Every structure is written in structure tokens, then in C-alpha cells.
Chains A and B, each alone.
Chain A
Amino acid sequence: MELRVDNLTIARGGVPVLAGVHFVLPAGRALVLRGPNGAGKTTLLRTLAGLQPALSGQISGAGERIAYAAHADGLKAMLSVTENLQFWAEIFGTRETDAALDAYALRPLAERMAGTLSAGQKRRLGLARLLVTGRPVWVLDEPTVSLDTAAVAQFAAALQTHLAAGGSAVIATHIDLGFKAATLDIASFRAASTLLAGASDEAFL
């Protein structure tokens, strides 16, 4: 099943940032979002993940199929690496954490408290969480921040395995992932300032 976005208008802080966004993401493919800072990449990803409503337009094939990962990894400092992964596995109704530990070489760290990990190690644990969700559509916001080259390669390998298994991914990133993926430059969807009317969140209240 494909992820389809039609004529989507999204706002940040009540101000429309993107209008008329449309793309189709078939299973087994990745889409890389590009655009300058503040263009609305994060807002678009949060809308896809269902964390905020769109002003107008349709998204189909999202909802319960999305696994979202952003700058905050949702890790508890006082739980070990295994406990963190197991928690998310149980929440998402899967139980298998071994593959996730192996994919990001986390086994040597398995018993360490997440609070004692380095930034890159935390990121790897955050990305490993995607593997235990069992969700087909990954929505990733700058997934490679603070990763070294070896860890970026692990991420690219995990992503390619996910795509080969029929999954798909929408990724906001500036780095080259090392394989060919479709690119969407969202700067071309910048919202006109005339859209302001009725866009405020306060209209809801």
C-alpha cells in the first residue's frame, strides 16, 4: 500500500508554511525531503505522523502504519538499552529486539543505562527502536544527526533491508545516504502569505 499526499496545506504556529504538497510513495521506496532551515520539513513530517492536523488536503496510507523518529529519541536515562527497546517492542505488540540490537551493533551496550550513552550511541538506539515497531512507513527527521560514518552505514543498511522487505520511508536529511532515492524539494511548495486567513489555531478554541 502506498502513502499518498494530496494538495496538503500545513501550518506552524498558525502560519501556513507549505501549500499544495503532493507526492506518492509506493512500497519499497524512500523519499528524501530537502529544503532550507525553516522550510517546513519537520512540520510536514509531524503532520504525516499524525501529531498535528493539516489545514487542508488529504493523506492516505498513514495513521497506524507510521513509525516516527525525530530529534528526541524517547529514551529513558535510567533504563538500560535492552529495557528501552523492550518497552517499545511491547507497546507496539512485537517482542523481538535481537534484530534491532544487531542492526546497530548495540549488543556490547545492551546492559548499559541509556543515560550513560554518548549522543551517537543514543541516536543508534533511537533508530533501533524503529525496527521493533514493525511499522511499514518510517517518517524520519534528520536521522543521521551525531552519527559517525560507520553508524550512517548501519543506518543505510537497515533502511535498505526495510525497503527490500516492502517498507517505505520519508526522510528529511541533508547527507547522502549512499543509495539512490527520490528527492522532493519542498521549497517549491512554500505557502503564499495570503493564506493566513482562518489558519490560526485559535479558530479551534
Chain B
Amino acid sequence: MTALLARDLRLAFRAGGGFGLALAFFLIVVVLVPFSVGPESSLLAAIAPGVLWLGALLACLLSLDRLLALDFEDGTLDLLVGAPIPLEGALSVKALAHWLTTGLPLVLAAPVLGVLLNLPLAGFGWLTASLLAGTPALSVIGTFGAALTVGIKRGGLLLSLLVLPLYVPTLIFGAETARRGAMGMEATTPLAMLTGITLATVALMPFASAAVLRMGLR
């Protein structure tokens, strides 16, 4: 398991590994927002939590199609099925590696980009907390989508269509936490809901992912 995590992290940082692509995409989307809606600071402050959450979600989505497709093409998945580690565990580890290389950098970058969008001071803590609690769910659900579309040529768009509806609950509670926090309201309830969704997906999704992957490899 640790070998698989170490290998995935090492590959992500090597040339062509795609580390930083999602982060750069997030950066560009957020920087483009003031250009499209105008520079009024009160308007930007109002939409900042939603924009940051949507940007993080889309950046995460962007990196999903390489999550399992590369391992499928070079035969690694076939060999992992026969390996002595359970496929559910292997997919959990791959989701963790995806979160460490995609989700965690987004969490760390979001407060910096919050400054660009004039996010109220009270919102920074809640924004970071909501992203920290919510992005693991994005990786785990994304792994399920990647397992579902493995073996389909050019499956990237199909993957997005399948995964985006599953992201809705995480987006609702994540953006709500950040919005309430920014407005100085009580935000622990949506944060608790968000954490609950993440914990449930982390616990259950790997079983669904492994089941559909076994079918996809046939």
C-alpha cells in the first residue's frame, strides 16, 4: 500500500506527471472572475466563496481522467487485480495520492486567491476548513467515476458528466459553509454535514469503485 502511494506521488512530481496543472487551472479561473463580473469589491466579496469552491471543484475534475487511465493503458491495473493487496485498498490509496497532489494544493492556495476576490476576513478560516473537509470527497467520488469509465477511449467528457452530479452535495454544503463564514454567520452545521458526506464517501465509495473496475477490466 505504501509502495503504491510512494509510486503515485513520485510519478506525479516527475515530468508529465501533471502535478500543478490543477493548481494552475484553479489560479487562472479565479483570476478571470474579476475580468468577467467587473472589479466592484462588494460584488466580488459576495461571490468569492462560491467562485472559490466552484473553481476548486472544476480543477479537481480536470485531473480525474489521468487517475486510472494511465494505469489501464500500461497494464498496471490488470496486475494490481492479481496482487496480494485488495483492490478496494489500492483504489483508496490512489484516491489519497490524488488528493495529496491535487486537493491539498488547492486547499492551501484558496486563501491566497481569496485575497484577490476580496473575501471578508472572517471567511478565510471557514473557507480553508470547508475545502479541507470537502475535497477528499471529490477525490474519492472522482476515483469511482474514473473506474467507471476505464477502458473507454476519450472517456474524459463522459467522466465529467458522470461525476459532476455526484459532486452536488459536497458543493452545496462546502460553498454554504464558506458563504456563512464569510458573512459572519454560524457555519458549523453545514461543515458538519460536509464532513459527514466526506466520511461516508471515503468509507463506502472504494467498494463501488473496485466493483465497477473489476467489470471494466473484463
The chain A residues found within 8 Å of chain B, CB to CB, are: 49-53, 64, 66-68, 70-79, 83, 86-88, 90-93, 129, 201, 204
Contacts and interface: CB of A to CB of B under 8 A. Distances in A.
Nearest to B13: A78
Nearest to A62: B82
Contacts of B7: 76, 79, 83, 87
Contacts of B73: 72
Given A51-B217, A79-B11, 19 more contacts: A49-B82, A50-B81, A51-B81, A51-B218, A52-B217, A53-B218, A64-B84, A68-B82, A72-B78, A73-B74, A74-B75, A76-B11, A78-B16, A87-B3, A90-B3, A91-B4, A91-B83, A92-B84, A93-B84
Contacts of A74: 74-76, 78-79
B14 interface: yes
State which size class the interface on B falls in.
20 to 34
Given A51-B217, A91-B4, A70 B82 contact: no
A72 B74 contact: yes
A115 to B, nearest CB: 9
A64 B86 CA distance: 11
Contacts of A68: 78-79, 82
Interface string B61-102: 000000000000111101111111100000000000000000
Question: Which are the 6 A-B pairs with shortest beta-carbon distances?
Answer: A72-B75, A90-B3, A78-B14, A74-B76, A74-B75, A52-B218
* Chain B facing A: main interface SS: helix
- A51, A91, A93, most chain B CB atoms within 10 A: A91
A78 B76 contact: no
Interface of B: 2-4, 7, 10-11, 14-17, 73-76, 78-85, 215, 217-218
Contacts of A52: 217-218
A76 B84 contact: no
A76 B74 contact: yes
- B2, B7, B11, B217, most chain A CB atoms within 10 A: B7
A73 B73 CA distance: 10
B3 to A, nearest CB: 4
A67 B83 CA distance: 8
A41 to B, nearest CB: 16
B214 to A, nearest CB: 8
Nearest to B17: A78
Contacts of A91: 3-4, 80, 83-85
Contact of B74 (A66, A75, A88, A92): A75
A51 B3 contact: no
A53 B15 CA distance: 38
Contacts of B81: 50-51
- B11, B73, B78, most chain A CB atoms within 10 A: B78
14 contacts: A49-B82, A51-B81, A51-B217, A51-B218, A64-B84, A68-B82, A72-B75, A74-B76, A75-B74, A77-B16, A78-B16, A78-B17, A79-B14, A92-B83
